[in-house]
Amino acid sequence: MRLLWWTLAVVSVSLFSILLSENRTLDPLQNLSLTIAAPMENGLRDVADPISDFFRGIFNRGDLVRENERLREELERLQTETAATEDAQRRLQELEEALGVKENRPDDVFVVADVIAQDPSGFKRALAIDRGSKDGLDEGMVVLSKSGSLVGVVSLVFEEFAWLRLISDPNNAVNIAVLTGGEEGSEARGVAVGDLRSRLSLEMLPTEAQIQEGDLVITSGLGGNYPRTLLLGSVTSVEEKPQALAKRATMEPAADLSSLDTVLIITNFRPARLEGP
């Protein structure tokens, strides 16, 4: 019985509410509730908008970071491809120059090597190359630049690599001839000695030799440690001392010894120091 009365009460309230709604009797209450709630809603929206913008910025910033990362990777890829292309072109040019040297010296046998390190001590001028005893190298073998000028000798050999001593090293001395500007075929013989600088000192030159700036310096072949007529460089200055027993000069190497990247080792020439007594 109680359940019946409860059901009738709920139905009656529902019908009464529908009737009031149809007659717009509740509009003032609805308007009042909206009037009261609107400022609160606007305030909540004003508070929520910056928070929404903040999170939206985080997401957008994440997209920006990813895009920047993608662009950096693309840039690195393009730089790598460009470097590889330039290295291949450089290598081709070096091999072409080496081929030119071989054509100019058809009787010589060469091993082409890349420079992989240099001595960091500052007390000597030495370079490491990526060829060794397995490639037929031996200590004392003559080393040329990719253009064919003398740059040094093989000083220490391992199976996979070797060390070169440059002509600018203080422990290196080369018997040379200066092609003077006098009568045709004249030359002044002496010794080129390294001094840790880019230039070499020309010692023991005849006092009467008419040596001038720009004269070419070549190997004389004396001593048997270097083939004849290998170019070393050119005279840059001459020291004139009337009372001196010999004339001195300075020489600029033909090759840039500070930036060697490819060298040629003459393997068929046996220096006298390798022949033994």
Judge if 212 and 152 occupy the same domain.
yes
List, for residues 178-208, the tens digit of each pLDDT value.
998 655 568 899 999 998 766 799 999 998 8
State pLDDT tens for residues 242-265: 777 889 999 999 999 988 988 999
Name the DSSP letter for residue 187: E
Determine which helix (DSSP H) or strand (DSSP E) holds 117, and give its type and residue range. Answer: strand 110-118
Q: Provide the residue range defining the domain that includes 227.
A: 107-271
* Structure token digits, residue 63: 């997209």
- Do 69 and 82 have their domain in common? yes
Domain CATH for 204: 2.40.10.350
243 and 147 in a common domain: yes
Look-up of token digits 């064919």: 148
Cα–Cα dist 156/163, whole Å: 5
Residues 229, 222 contacting (CB under 8 angstroms): no
Q: With respect to residue 100, please indicate whether it lies within any of the assigned structural domains.
A: yes
Kindly give the pairing relationship between strand 200-205 and strand 262-266. unpaired
pTM exceeding the 0.85 threshold for the entire prediction: no
Same-domain pairing of 258 and 141? yes
CA distance linking residue 244 with residue 36, whole number of Å: 114
The per-residue b/e assignment along 239-259, b for 16 or more CB within 10 angstroms, e otherwise, is eeeeeeeebbbbbbbbbebee
Written as six digits, the tokens of 175 are 């018997």
Domain membership of residue 243 (yes or no) is: yes
Q: Which of 84, 104, 124 finishes a domain?
A: 104
C-alpha dihedral, 65 to 67 to 68 to 69, nearest 10°? 90
In this structure, the answer to whether residues 79 and 191 fall within a common structural domain is no
Written as one letter, the residue type at 207 is: T
Three-state DSSP at 93 gives: helix
Type and span of the H or E element at 124: none
Same-domain check for residues 84 and 111: no
Q: What is the pLDDT of residues 73-132, one digit of tens each?
A: 777 777 666 666 666 566 556 555 665 666 667 778 888 899 999 988 777 899 999 999
Give the helix ranges, DSSP H, for the chain: 2-22, 27-104, 272-275
Quick one: pLDDT at residue 1? 59
